[in-house]
Chains A and B, each alone.
Chain A
Amino acid sequence: MKTSDLIGKLSSDLKPVRSLSATLTRTGVVMFAMSVGLALSALFFTARPDLHEAMSERQFIFGAGALILGWIVESYSLALLQLPTTETKKFFAAGLTIVGILALAYLGRGLIPMDINSFMNGADVHGVKCSLDIAFLSVLPGIFLFLILRKGAPTRIMHMALNLAICCAILGAFALQFFCPINQPIHLLVWHLVVPFAGLSGLGILIGRKILRW
């Protein structure tokens, strides 16, 4: 078929379309879909026994606040990435910076006062269950997110896949605070941030680069 024939065919049976909504609306939709996915996944968990006391601790409030803020920024970045031309690296970087600051705060609290036993306990390999929980909590939000983002026309696939994975990991880490009773900063740093973020990022890029292509 010649290009001119294709153009004739496409224009002859043209139907009206509605433009994608504004970026802030799309961000809201992204966050809502992820929240629904998270709520469904959370049904498989039970709240930590000391939740009431934990929620009034500064570490918990700071952690939850930073993760929520990071999640909002990353969701906005994802909504921008739906369009072909938008440059979103600064928002993506801002979200990561917020999580980075949280990680540094955990590291600081874990190292001062320096106590090797508590450090080793925090990094205990059994904590890997928390990373797996975060991965589990991220699955449904990730699927919902993927279905929404497919409606757009992302042209930076790797970036979007990474952004998607980070966004899910942040939300998973936020949710796990309500289920995991361990407060040790090093545990939170290693098993709630570093390992799941690295793992989900790798997995996100691996899967995302294939399924996000259009």
Chain B
Amino acid sequence: MNLKESKDEIELSELMRTSQAGDGAAYKELLLRIEKMLAPFVRKSVPNEAAEDVLQEIILAIHTKRHTFNSEQYFLPWCYAIARYKIIDSIRARTRREVLAFDPDEIEITADTYATATFSDEQFDALMASLSEKQKQIVKLVKLDGLSIKEAAQKTGLSESDVKINIHRALKKLKSRFQGGRQ
């Protein structure tokens, strides 16, 4: 599955196009769905007491910049890029002291993450089938079961650097396979 075939992508893009033409009902539905979709990511990224404010800032940003979406683009990456920008902005504004240790790349809110998160088991299996047995095992241990590199190395009998290399190659392969349908 690629993003173009994602049900959400198709529906939300269509809603956005209709909204750009001035359809208030479609716009309301769009914003409600965006709220539902983004709320978990916002809560994960900012303290609970700030989540509602940040979510509203994102919705306002989407509203004021809705003219920057065009039909040649994907909606989900556009929407998540704005969300990510606003989350980072709010974190920077709220906790100046923490900014020093803050790495924006830690906030992995992209359409890819979203699309991956909504994969069915069959789609996930199909993606994993592109990996070698060794890569599959390591990705499962580290990325799905949550083992550390060291623990995964002990379990598989590989060196830690081998585990890292295999994860890197596996993720690269998964990413290119995932994006393959777009090109």
- Which stretch from A2-10, A42-50, A188-196 is at the chain B interface? A2-10
Q: Nearest residue in A to B92 (C-beta to C-beta)?
A: A213
A90 within 8 A of B: no
Q: Is the Cβ of A152 less than 8 Å from the Cβ of B59?
A: no
Q: Please report whether the interface of chain B is mostly helix, strand, loop or mixed according to DSSP.
A: helix
Contact residue among B23, B27, B63, B81 (Cβ-Cβ distance under 8 Å from A84): B81
Whether B24 pairs with A11 at a CB distance below 8 angstroms is yes
List chain A residues, Cβ under 8 A from B21.
16
Q: Which residues of A contact B (CB under 8 A)?
A: 1-4, 6-8, 10-20, 22, 82-85, 152-153, 155, 213-214
Find chain B residues with CB under 8 A from A15 CB.
Answer: 22
CB pairs A–B below 8 angstroms (14 shown): A3-B55, A4-B32, A7-B59, A10-B63, A11-B25, A14-B19, A16-B20, A16-B21, A18-B67, A20-B70, A83-B78, A155-B84, A155-B85, A214-B65
- B52 CB–A CB distance under 8 Å: yes
Known pairs A6-B59, A84-B78, A152-B68; A19 contacts B85 (CB<8 A): no
Q: Is B178 interfacial (CB 8 A cutoff)?
A: no
Contact in complex: A19, B27 (CB < 8 Å)? no
Count of A-B residue pairs with CB < 8 Å: 83
Interface of A, helix, strand, loop or mixed by DSSP = loop
Chain B residues lying within 8 Å of A13, measured Cβ to Cβ, are: 24
Q: Which residue of A lies closest to B53 (CB)?
A: A3
Interface residues of B (CB under 8 A from A): 19-25, 27-28, 31-32, 35, 52, 55-56, 59-61, 63, 65-74, 77-78, 81-82, 84-85, 89
Q: Among the listed B31, B73, B85, B89, which residue makes an inter-chain contact with A7, where contact means beta carbons less than 8 Å apart? A: B31
**Given the contacts A3-B59, A7-B35, A14-B27, A20 and B67 also touching, CB distance less than 8 Å:** yes
**A16 x B68 contact (CB < 8 A):** no
Q: Which residue of A lies closest to B85 (CB)?
A: A155
Asked if A153 contacts B31 (CB within 8 A), the reply is: no
Measured between alpha carbons, how far is A126 from B85 in the docked complex, in Å? 44
Query: Which chain A positions have C-beta within 8 A of B20?
Result: 16-19
Contact at A19–B22, with CB atoms within 8 Å? Answer: no
Residues in B neighbouring A84, C-beta threshold 8 A: 65, 68, 78, 81-82, 85
The interface residues of chain B lying within 8 Å CB-to-CB of A3 are 35, 52, 55-56, 59
Given contacts A14-B22, A14-B24, A16-B20, contact A83 B73 (CB under 8 A): yes
Cα of A153 to Cα of B74 in the assembled complex, Å: 15
CB of B55 to closest CB in A, whole Å:
6
For B82, the chain A residues whose CB sits under 8 A away are: 84, 153, 155
Which residue of the partner chain, among A8, A11, A12, A19, contacts B69 with CB atoms under 8 Å?
A19
Q: Are B27 and A82 in contact (CB under 8 A)?
A: no
